[in-house]
Amino acid sequence: MFSKRLNNLTPYVPGEQPQDRKYLKLNTNESPFPPSPEIKHFLENFDIEHLRLYPDPKFSTLRDEIAACYGINREQVFIGNGSDEVLAFSFFSFFDSADGKLIFPEFTYSFYSVYCDFFGIEYETVPLTRSFQIDADAFAGRGDACGVIFANPNAPTGVFLPFEAVSNLLDKFPADRVVIVDEAYIDFGGESAVSLIEQHPNLLVVRTFSKSMCLAGLRLGYAMGNEALIKALFTAKDSFNSYPADMLSQKIGEIAISDRTYYRRLVDEIVRNREYLSQALDESGWEVLPSMANFVFVRKNGIPGETVYRTLKEKGILVRYFNRRGITDFVRITIGTRDQVDALLDEIRQCF
Ligand SMILES: *Cc1c(COP(=O)(O)O)cnc(C)c1O
C-alpha cells in the first residue's frame, strides 16, 4: 500500500507547538512582535469577492516589490510557500547525484538532509571549525560536489560567515554548480550575499517572511538569483502546484516588504535584546556563541541540553535542544521581548 519512497523517509521534526498550556515560546525563532499594522488595515478592508478567482501564478506584484527592495528585477525573484518550499524546489531543480554529492555543514538547518532523502540526492557533511564557524575553505575546493548549501547566519549556531568568505567561496567553486545561501536570519545583523548574484549566476539566495517579518503563520518565502535559476524554479513549481502562494499571502507579503520603517525598529529591538541576553548569560557562566540571528546557542559546563530544556519546560518556557552528537550540551533560545528575556533569565539563574 505504501511506496518504498515513502517508507524510506524520516521527516523533519519542527519545534513543538504545544496546546496544553500557555508557554513562553522561545523554541522556534518566531517573532515576539505582531506583523506590520498595515496588514491589519488591509485585512479589515479586504473584499472577499476577490477570493472567487485564482491568484496570480507568477506572483508579479510581490516579485516587483521584492526586486525593488534589492535593486534587481522581477525575473531574478522566485516565490514559494515558505522558504522550506523554495528550498525543496531548489533541491529538485539543481542537485543531482550524477554530478557528485551535495555538501553542507555538519550542523546546519536539519531540513537539508531530509530534502536529500526525499529527492534521492546523496550528500556529505563538512565539519564546522572549532569555533563553530562554517569552514568556507573546505567547501571552496570541492569541485567534485554537485552543489553547496548553507544557512548564513547558520542555524542552530547563529554564527555568521563574513561576506568576504562567502564571496571567496563563490570565486573558487565551479561556476556550473549551484551554491545556495539560506538567509533566513540575515536581517538580524549579517551582510547579505544578494549583491553577488550578478557576478555569480550559480548563486541562489533564499529568504523567508517567517522570522524578521513576523509572518511564520503566513507561509511565504522567496529566492533571488540569476534569471536562468529562477526560470528553472518556475518549471519545477508549475509541474507541481501552480499556486503555492495564495492571493492573501501575496498581498500581505507586498505590504510587509514595503513597510521597512516598522520592521527596522523591531529588528533593532531584537538585536538589542540578543546582546543583553548574551551578556547576562555570559556573566552567569554560560558559553554563548556569537550570534547574528534572532536566537542564541548556549551551553553551561556539565549540563546536558536536554536537562536545560526539560527544566525550563516545567517552568513554562520552551527552548530547543538537539539530540545530535557534538551539540547535545547546547540549547537554542529565541530572542523575545525585553520582558520575556528577563523572565527567562530569572528562571535560568534560579535553576542552573
Ligand atoms: C526558519 C527557517 C527556514 C524556513 O522558513 P519558512 O519560510 O518558515 O519555511 C529555512 N531555513 C532556515 C535556516 C530557517 O531557520
Instruction: Express each pLDDT in 156-209 by its tens digit.
Output: 999 999 999 999 999 999 999 999 999 999 999 999 999 999 999 999 999 999
The CA radius of gyration of the chain, in Å to the nearest whole number, is: 20
Distances 340 to 28, 72, 292 between C-alpha atoms, Å: 15, 38, 19
pLDDT at residue 97, as a whole number: 94
pLDDT the model gives residue 197:
98
Query: Is this prediction's pTM over 0.95?
Result: yes
Report how far apart the first and last C-alpha atoms of the chain are (Å, whole number): 50
Please provide the average confidence, as pLDDT, over all residues in the chain: 97
CA dihedral for 69, 75, 79, 83, sign (positive or negative) = negative
Give the per-residue pLDDT at 13. Answer: 87
86 CA distance to ligand 1 middle (Å): 10
The secondary structure of 23-54 as a DSSP string is -EE-SS---SS---HHHHHHHHT--GGGGGSP
Residue nearest to atom 2 of ligand 1 (CA): 184
Residue 21 has pLDDT above 90, yes or no: no
CA dihedral sign of residues 81, 247, 192, 287: negative
Q: Helix or strand or coil: residue 258? A: helix
* 340 within 8 A of 32, measured Cβ to Cβ: yes
Share above pLDDT 90 across residues of the chain, in percent, rounded to a whole number: 95
Quote the pLDDT of residue 15.
Answer: 84
Alpha carbon 317 to chain centroid, angstroms: 22
Residue 18: pLDDT over 90: no
Cell of 309: 530544556
Looking at the chain, the whole-number percentage of residues with pLDDT higher than 70 is: 100
Closest atom of ligand 1 to CA, residue 28: 1
Is the Cβ–Cβ distance between 287 and 307 less than 8 Å? Answer: no
Q: Counting atoms of ligand 1 from 1, which one is nearest the CA of 210?
A: 8
Q: Residue 16: its pLDDT value, please?
A: 85
pLDDT per position as a tens digit, 205-237: 999 999 999 999 999 999 999 999 999 999 999
* Helices 82-94, 227-237: crossing angle, 10 deg rounding: 100
Residue 188: its pLDDT value, please?
Answer: 98
From the list 135, 131, 125, 124, the residue with the least C-alpha distance to 168 is: 135
The residue whose CA is least distant from atom 12 of ligand 1 is 184
Q: What is the pLDDT of residues 226-273, one digit of tens each?
A: 999 999 999 999 999 999 999 999 999 999 999 999 999 999 999 999
Can you tell me which atom of ligand 1 is nearest the CA of 83?
7
Q: What is residue 327's predicted lDDT score, i.e. its pLDDT?
A: 96
Q: Which residues line ligand 1 (CB under 6 A)?
A: 29, 82-84, 109, 151, 155, 182, 184, 208, 210, 216, 221
Residue 131 to residue 66: CA distance in whole angstroms? 35
Q: Give the mean pLDDT of 319-345.
A: 97
| Residue-wise pLDDT tens digits, 34-57 | 999 999 999 999 999 999 999 999
The string of pLDDT tens digits covering residues 53-111 is 999 999 999 999 999 999 999 999 999 999 999 999 999 999 999 999 999 999 999 99
| Residue 14 banded pLDDT, cuts 50, 70, 90 | confident
What does each C-alpha distance from 30 to 160, 205, 223 come to in angstroms?
19, 21, 20
| Cell numbers for 325 | 552528537
State the pLDDT at residue 111: 97
User: Using 50, 70 and 90 to split pLDDT, how confident is the model at 19?
Assistant: confident
